[in-house]
Amino acid sequence: MKIASVWAREILDSRGNPTIEVEVATENTLASAAAPSGESTGKHEAIELRDGGHRYLGKGVQRAVNNVNAYIAPAIIGMDVRQQEAVDTKMKELDGTRDKSRMGANAMVATSMAVLRAAAGSEGKMLHEHLGGSNLPHAMFNVINGGKHAGNGLAVQEFMIIPDDELFSERLRMASEIYHILGKQLVEKHGPAARNVGDEGGYAPQIGNTYQALDALVAAIEEAGYPHKCALAIDAAASSFFDSKSRVYKIDGKELKESELVDYYADLAKSYPLKSIEDPFQEEGFGAFAALKKELPDVQIVGDDLVVTNVARLKQAISEDSIGALLLKLNQIGTVTEAMQAVQMCRQNNLNVVVSHRSGETEDCFIADFSVGINAGQIKTGAPARGERTSKYNQLLRIEERMRVL
């Protein structure tokens, strides 16, 4: 089934910034995909191409759009849409850089995702069916936002709940109930402004202490009636509160050295049902990650900025025993093929995979299908609110229903 046409356009993401959407057509199907965009980004991520200048305050993506329409499209039209690796390799050859800075990772990932979706459509299948997956993921619902995703004083970027039930639909229901109860409790304690939300739909109350945020989650879970069916997780995004000059981490009004931050996380894990910690240290801290993993063997240590879905950095994390799970973000690496290679490496080394959104999202639900398709087991895609977040959860509901029927 050959690729008949490829077309890119500029659209808006959930923050009102431009991003790129790509359509790929074959003789019997038309598919599209849109690139997400991160606010808290690792310095080793593939490069997102922006225009600069005055238009959209420099954030336009017309250069990326033009790269698809003028260069990528002519190169891949006529190729078999089912040959994902060949298409992705062709784009990498066109780009010719290590960080995808010529074509732009945003241009390449939107094209790569659209090709995979078109391949599924050409076979009359949903994306997860095309990939062969059958397991609905457990979701980490981000219900309090901090760090770069909010305007409060919280250093930690995401405070998440992980409801547990056999059915995804029940896990989503529990999360929604907890989310609304949390909002009510925050208003009662901190006033109406506490229901303001951050980039990922979680509340952004004016509190500046990690313990207060976790206490709020526990209180909401208890009122909802799920104290034994819901765990907690955090994304520290510690690079954002790491002072590279003094080599300390500024959190909760303290300045902590690396070893002191290990003790800090250990106390959190002792005090709360904390099951997962993402990016607990700055993005070069392989040794610190390993020390925490050893200190907290029952807590999943997740690498995001540390690894950036990059096989070379993943190899280092594995060799140093730094992580128990990879946070997989397609736009960090720029092609589906390279993301799949990272997944394969995780499988070979008994690491978990958490498929993730970005803070700048669209209504595209690709990662919902993808998480099921690769049997990831876990997904992180924001609060159970805001359309760009619920689009993923609603797609998972559809997939679960389809699996029951079939």
Beta strand residue intervals within 128-241, DSSP E: 138-145, 158-163, 230-235
DSSP code of residue 46: P
pLDDT for the residue 44: 87
Can you give the pLDDT at residue 148? 78
- State the pLDDT at residue 39: 76
Instruction: Examine the residue annotation and report whether 329 is marked as an active-site residue of this protein.
Output: yes
Helices (H) and strands (E) in the chain, counts: 14, 14
The CATH superfamily of 5-124 is: Enolase-like, N-terminal domain (3.30.390.10)
For the sheet with 18-25, list strands across it: 5-12, 18-25, 30-34
Tell me the one-letter amino acid at 56. Answer: Y
Instruction: Tell me which residue has tokens 């925050």.
Output: 186
Q: What percent of the chain has pLDDT over 70?
A: 99
* Angstrom distances, CA of residue 104 to CA of 60, 124, 356: 13, 31, 20
CA distance 301 to 236: 11
| pLDDT score for 210 | 97
Q: For the CA atoms of the chain, what is the radius of gyration?
A: 21
- Strand 242-243: give its sheet, edge to edge: 242-243, 248-251, 254-256
Q: How far is CA 169 from CA 29, 161, 363, 394, 398, in A?
A: 30, 15, 20, 9, 10
Kindly give the confidence (pLDDT) of every residue in the chain, 406 residues in length, as a single tens digit, with 9 standing for 90 and above: 999 999 999 999 999 999 999 999 999 999 999 999 987 676 889 999 999 999 999 999 999 999 999 999 999 999 999 999 999 999 999 999 999 999 999 999 999 999 999 999 999 999 999 999 999 999 999 999 988 767 778 999 999 999 999 999 999 999 999 999 999 999 999 999 999 998 899 999 989 899 999 999 999 999 999 999 999 999 999 999 999 999 999 999 999 999 999 999 999 999 999 999 999 999 999 999 999 999 999 999 999 999 999 999 999 999 999 999 999 999 999 999 999 999 999 999 999 999 999 989 999 999 999 999 999 999 999 999 999 999 999 999 999 999 998 7
C-alpha 102: how far from chain center: 24
| Confidence (pLDDT) at 208 | 81
H-helix or E-strand spanning residue 171 = helix 168-190
Q: State the helix-helix crossing angle for 210-224 and 258-271, rounded to 10 degrees.
A: 20
- Residue 263 one-letter amino acid: D
What residues pair up with 71 in beta bridges, in sequence order?
Answer: none
Residue 66: is it exposed, middle or buried by C-beta count within 10 angstroms (0-12/13-18/19+)?
middle
200 catalytic residue (yes or no) = yes
In this structure, the chain runs to a length of 406
Task: Please give the pLDDT value at position 40.
Answer: 61
Task: Select from 3.30.70.100, 3.20.20.120, 3.30.1320.10, 3.30.2040.10 the CATH code of 130-405.
Answer: 3.20.20.120
Whole-angstrom Cα distance, residue 269 to residue 339?
31
Distance from C-alpha of 10 to C-alpha of 61, rounded to nearest angstrom: 6
Active-site residue identified among 148, 329, 380, 392 = 329
Query: Closest Cα partner for 90 from 328, 337, 309, 331?
Result: 337
Do β-strands 325-328 and 352-356 pair in parallel, antiparallel, or remain unpaired? parallel
Q: Give tens-digit pLDDT for 87-99.
A: 999 999 999 999 9
Catalytic option among 48, 200, 278, 283: 200
Of 362, 331, 330, the C-alpha closest to 12 is 362
Kindly give the pairing relationship between strand 377-380 and strand 30-34: unpaired
Q: Sign (positive/negative) of CA torsion 92, 96, 99, 103?
A: negative
DSSP conformation class of 110: H
Give the model's pLDDT for residue 349.
98
Quote the distance between the C-alpha of residue 91 and its chain's center.
Answer: 23
Q: Taking all residues of the chain, what is their mean pLDDT, rounded to a whole number?
A: 96
pLDDT of amino acid 153: 83
Domain range list for the chain: 5-124, 130-405
